[in-house]
Structure formats: C-alpha cells, structure tokens
Chains A and B, each alone.
Chain A
Amino acid sequence: MPSLPDLVCPAGSLPALKAAVDNGADAVYLGYKNDTNARNFAGLNFDQKTMAEGIRYAHSKGREVLLAINTFAQAGRVADWQKAVDGAVDQGVDAIILADVGLLDYACRRHPQQRLHLSVQGSATSYEAINFCQREFGIQRAVLPRVLTLAQVEHVIKNTSVEIEVFGFGSLCVMNEGRCWLSSYACGESPNTVGACSPAKYVKWDKQPGAMETRLNGILIDRFADNEPAGYPTLCKGRFEVQGETYYALEEPTSLNVLSILPEIIKIGVRAIKVEGRQRSPTYVAQVTRNLRAALDSLRDGSERFHVKPAWQAELSKVSEGSQATLGAYNRPWR
C-alpha cells in the first residue's frame, strides 16, 4: 500500500487555519485579502500579519502552508500578482499554488528555489499539460480539475512524475475550472477577473410567503420552498425553465465526498487530497478535517478492512451544500 496522501485543508481565517492544524490537516491552503486569490470575499483571507502568525502556528506543529495565487493577472496590473508571489516567498510558505502560466514563468525564473503547485484553476486535465508545466516551470504538484474519472486520474499519475492532488470533499460547481465565465454573464465579474464567483454585492435573498428567492444581479436563480435545502447563489446551480420544464439544468447544489473510495484513491498513488471551502467557517474546517483524518488514519494499516463509519458520513453530509453528496466525476461511466 502506498503511503497516505496529505490532507490539504482550507483556511479563510486564522481560527480556520488553527482548526485545520488542530484537527489533523497535513497542510493548509490560504490566500491574500485581494483579487490574487479565487476566494476574494469580503472579510475573508489573510493580511501579512495574520499570515505570518498562521505560518508560525502551522510550522510549529510540523504542517505545511500552501498559498493560493490562483487568479489570472489582469491587464495593466501584472505587477500586483508578481508582488504577491514575491511576498509569499518572503513569508516562507511551503508552496505557491498558481494558475496563470505567465505568473508560473515569473515565479520559476525569479524564485527558482520556491516550490510551485499548478492550481486547479490552471485547468490541466492531461498528463501532457502537466508535464509541460513541469518542463517549463518546474511545478512539483498539480491539482486536478474535478472532471476526471478515477481511471483517468490513474492514467495521469502513471504518466507523470509530478505529484497529483485531487479534491476529496466540498461544494461542487459546473467545474469548468479556470475557464468559467458564467458569473461574468450575470454580473460582469467572475473568479478569473475579480477572484470571486457570484460576488455577494450582486446576491439578493428575498423572503416571500412560503418561499425564498435567490437573485444574482436581478436574475432569478432559484426559488426554495420553506423546508427545501438551499445552495450557493451561482448560475450553474440555478433552476431554469428549459423547453417547458423547470429543473437544475446545469448542476444540482451538491457536495463531493470521496470517503467511500478512499482506498482506491490511495492505491492509484494520489499524493494529496484537498478539501474545498475557504469561504466556510472554522467550525466546518474542524468538522471536515476531523472526519477525513479519522478515515485516512484507519487506512494506515492497509485497506482490507476499511469501512466508512456512519458517524463520519453523518457529519460530512450535514455540512454539505444542498445536503447531499456525490462521488462527482470519479465514478462516472463517460470519458
């Protein structure tokens, strides 16, 4: 049995970082309080001071800190992104997660000693793309977009020496990662441009008798009956009328949960498992980290007797968006 993959957990704040470390994350990932990261939401993320404290805390417990600079440098402001890279190196993060090839080029030339990861936003789904980034920019790890089947992930791993990180838990979207402009269609802003999908200033939750309506820049996204679970207000998770029927035409509000296929993920040689959710609270981070840690630890002595404990599943289901979980693309028959 290969060694256990790293558990990489989200930190949108210092308490979330500490929750991840205290509950067994091997690494935490975080971002600056600006549009260099794709979770640029009001009140979230780190400034230099909190980041220094977070790095100190994680390192004191022997854990790694990965910094996501995973948006695309905007015209006329490339220096802002380069400064973010320089700052990350100065702060002593263990790796920088980058999506923009221009920035990867800058980082590997300017800071040849710095460990670089290719972000999921870099949208590399084939080993050719990953090996290209290894050859040109020296990336040491790639985070795979959530569109590959388990067999396809294995195929990638077999054909590259770059470490492979996959998503293990968290909200799913339409998953056209790094190439999605749906949010811009509705409000002119998207993760690739401002670092946020469906920014809060365009979101309106309207309470009506017996229902709640969600609007994004005036566009009706969904209408939830009083006891119906709700989701994030993104276009891809909206219910729309298509040919006379109203349904989730793109994607249902749902969460990925790989608990049941953890042994297979380890067997094919995945190096790290990532948890989505830098926008979530320290409580969520603690809950998810704790349960995935327990599941991974139970596999330390081999997978023969692995079974998913109902308590793990129950807590993970509770925190899921839409209150339902799937294996996403991992077990889809299509290729």
Chain B
Amino acid sequence: MSDFNIPKFRLPGFVAGIGEKLPQWPHGLALVAGLNAALKMKLLPESELTALDGKLFRVQVRDTGGTAHFTFSGGLFRPVFRPEREPDLAFAANLSAYLQLLTRQEDPDTLFFNRELEITGDTELGLIVKNMLDAVEWPKLPRLPLPSR
C-alpha cells in the first residue's frame, strides 16, 4: 500500500479553457511513450493486444482540456494528431480520476458507477483494455527515502 493518497479534485474551469487552446501533441506523445515502454517490458499480454490492432483511441482529460488520440498498429502504439474519424473507444475523466486509476488507488468500475469516468464507443474493446491494464504486474517502484510517520 502506498503512503500517498491522491485526493479527488477538479481543476478550476479556466484551466480547461487555456488547455484546449494549447497544442495537443505533447501529452499524446507522453501517453504513447508510456504505453510503448510497457510493451517493451512485455507487461502487456500479447493475446489481448491483437484486439487493439488498428483501433483508434481517445483519452480526454476534462479539467485540463487535454485530448490525445492514438492507435495501435504494427506492434506499437502511435499518436494520431489529426484523427479523421470517430474513435473506436473514448475515455473522459478529470485528471484526479486518471491519477487514481494509474496508481491503482481506485477501481475503474467504482469511478464509472460514480460517473467520474466516462467510456464510450466499443464497450468490449473498453473491457479488454481495462482488464489488460488490471492484469499488468507493474514493477515495484523503489521507495523514496521519506521520513517515516
């Protein structure tokens, strides 16, 4: 268990207002780099990855106004800067919900029930992605030498 808890928060409205006007490629690249790093470490199961082939995904962070599109093809995640169609699967949530998901502090179904996470598009694809990420055994991060409480 981590000692650090990410609280539920929502950034003020003007942040999204600014965020929407900024270029959308930096977080798209960061997200794709992270996913590819997981691929490289063979953390993602190959049997499920085939279901992702050629699919277009959209991840939208509501309160920062950030949106990233990406696809999976040729064994790699690739950013898509000018999507020409509706995504096959789209997630929308506030930044805090994504952080809670990534750190395994909250369960995606909990966030969905509480309407903090929105999933639209191909529901089965969504379930595959959710279960694939749930099944990843993330390497244990070295503990920071924080003073004990």
Could you tell me which A residues sit within 8 Å of B by CB distance? 12-16, 41-44, 199-201, 203-207, 212, 224, 226-231, 253, 279-284, 286-287, 318-323
A283-B135 CB under 8 A given contacts A43-B130, A199-B124, A230-B113: no
Chain A nearest CB, measured from B88 CB (Å): 13
Q: CA–CA, A203 to B121, complex, Å?
A: 10
Q: Which residue of B lies closest to A207 (CB)?
A: B120
B30 in the interface, Cβ–Cβ < 8 Å?
A: no
- Does A230 lie within 8 Å of B131, measured CB to CB? no
Q: CA–CA, A280 to B108, complex, Å?
A: 8
Could you tell me which B residues sit within 8 Å of A by CB distance? 1, 48, 51, 104-110, 112-115, 118-120, 123-124, 126-132, 134-137
A226-B113 CB under 8 A given contacts A12-B134, A205-B120, A281-B134: no
Task: Indicate which residue in B51, B104, B123, B137 contacts A281 across the interface (CB closer than 8 Å).
Answer: B104
- Does A200 lie within 8 Å of B124, measured CB to CB? yes
Task: Indicate which residue in A16, A200, A227, A321 contacts B126 across the interface (CB closer than 8 Å).
Answer: A200
Q: CA–CA, A229 to B48, complex, Å?
A: 30
Chain B residues with CB under 8 Å of A13's CB are 131, 134-135
A320-B109 CB under 8 A given contacts A200-B127, A201-B124, A283-B104: no
- Does A43 lie within 8 Å of B137, measured CB to CB? no
A-B contact pairs, 12 of them (CB 8 A): A15-B137, A41-B131, A42-B127, A42-B128, A43-B130, A43-B135, A230-B112, A230-B115, A231-B113, A279-B109, A280-B107, A280-B109
Chain B residues with CB under 8 Å of A320's CB are 113
Chain B residues with CB under 8 Å of A44's CB are 131
Chain A nearest CB, measured from B67 CB (Å): 15
Q: CA–CA, A229 to B1, complex, Å?
A: 28
| Extra contacts besides A15-B137, A230-B115 (13): CB < 8 Å | A14-B137, A15-B135, A42-B127, A43-B132, A44-B131, A201-B123, A201-B124, A205-B118, A229-B115, A282-B104, A283-B104, A283-B106, A318-B114
- Does A226 lie within 8 Å of B115, measured CB to CB? yes
- Does B48 lie within 8 Å of A43, measured CB to CB? yes
Chain B nearest CB, measured from A45 CB (Å): 9
Chain A residues with CB under 8 Å of B114's CB are 229, 318, 323
